[in-house]
Amino acid sequence: MYVPNESRYEKMKYNRCGKSGLKLPAVSLGLWQNFGYNDSFANMENMCHTAFDLGVTHFDLANNYGNPHNGSAEENFKKILDRGMREFRDELCISTKAGYDMWKGPYGDKNGSRKYLVSSLDQSLKRMGLDYVDIFYHHINDPDTPVEETALALDHITKQGKALYVGISNYNTEQTKEIQKIFKELRTPFILNQPSYSMLNRWIETDGLRDYAKEDGFGLAVFSPLYQGLLTDRYLNGIPEDSRIGKGNTWIKNELTPKMLEGLNKLNDVAKLREQSLAQMALSWTLREDKVTTVLIGASRPEQIVDNVQAAYKTEFSQEQLNKIEDILNNIR
C-alpha cells in the first residue's frame, strides 16, 4: 500500500493560476511519454509516487496520450490511482485534454466541436475512473469550428460538473483573446493556457502571450521546457543509444548542430556556476519573473523527477547570469 511522504508540502512552491483561487506546483508531471501501453507499469507508478512525495500535485494527461494506443496513459493512471493514490484524490489536480485525432470517423478527428469535446471527456473520465477532472483543456485551436461552439462546449462541461476549470492549449495571443472574450461573457472558469516554451523556443515572448496572460489574469502551464531533451546533459558529449535522438524517434536530431552543441556546453557552464544541472537551470529559467504558473516535465525514470523538481527552489537569476544566457541563446542557431 502506498504511503506518501508526510513532508511532501514543505518545500514545493505553489503558484496561483492567474487571478483564480487554484494553485499549482511550480513543477508538474506530464504523462505524454513513458505512460503508454508498452511501458513499464512499475516504473510509471514509481514516477507518480515520487512526484507526489515531492509535492507535485498536478498530473497532466490528454485523451491521445499513450503510445501506441490512444488513451492508454489515462488507463494506466487509473491503475495507479486504484493502487493507493485515489485515497488522496482531493490533494491532486488532474487535467486532461481533447483536440487532436482520437477515434475513427468525422467526430473523433482533430477538432473543437461540442460533439467531440463532450464525448472525449466522457471517455477520459471512464478511462481514469473519475467523476470529474480539475482542468479540461481544448488541446489545439480548430479553425473549422466556430470559436463560440468550442467556448460554449467547455462552459457546458463545467456546468455539468465534469470539470472544475477549463483551459486551452497551443493557442496564440490572438486566438486566446477571441475565446477569452466569450469566456468572460459566460463567466466560464477559464484559468490556463498550455503553450510550449523553453530557452530554445520562445514564441510566447515574441507573440506576446507570456505578458498577456499576466495582464489578463490567467495562468501559463508550459510544456517541452527541456526542448525534447536538448536542454539536458544527455547530448553534451555525444548521442547516447538510449536517448530520443539515439532511438531516432524525435524531430530534434537535425537541430543538434555543432553550433547548437557549442551553445549548450556554454549554457552548461553557466548552470555549473549556479550549482545546477543544465536541465535544472533551463526549468528555473522558464519560471523566472513569475509569469509562468507551472512547468510541465516529462520523465523516463523517478530520478529525473527528483532532479528536475529542484529547479522550483532556485528561480532567482542575477542580471549578469541573464545577460550571459541571452548572449549564448542569441548565437546558438
Fold of 14-237+278-315: TIM Barrel (3.20.20)
What tens-digit pLDDT sequence spans the chain (333 residues)? 899 999 999 999 999 999 999 999 999 999 999 999 999 999 999 999 999 999 999 999 999 999 888 999 999 999 999 999 999 999 999 999 999 999 999 999 999 999 999 999 999 999 999 999 999 999 999 999 999 999 999 999 999 999 999 999 999 999 999 999 999 999 999 999 999 999 999 999 999 999 999 999 999 999 999 998 899 998 887 666 666 665 665 667 777 888 999 999 999 999 999 999 999 999 999 999 999 999 999 999 999 999 999 999 999 999 999 999 999 999 987
- What is the CA angle 288-172-217, rounded to 5? 55
Give me the pLDDT at residue 236, please.
85
Q: Which three cell numbers stand for residue 296?
A: 510541465
Domain boundaries, the chain: 14-237+278-315
Whether the CB-CB separation of 42 and 298 falls below 8 Å is answered with no
In the chain, % helix, strand, coil (3-state, to 5) comes to 45, 15, 40
Other Cβ atoms less than 10 A from the Cβ of 249: the count is 11
Q: Is 111 helix (H, G, I), strand (E, B) or coil?
A: coil
279 contacts 232 by C-beta, under 8 angstroms: yes
Residue-level pLDDT at 241:
61
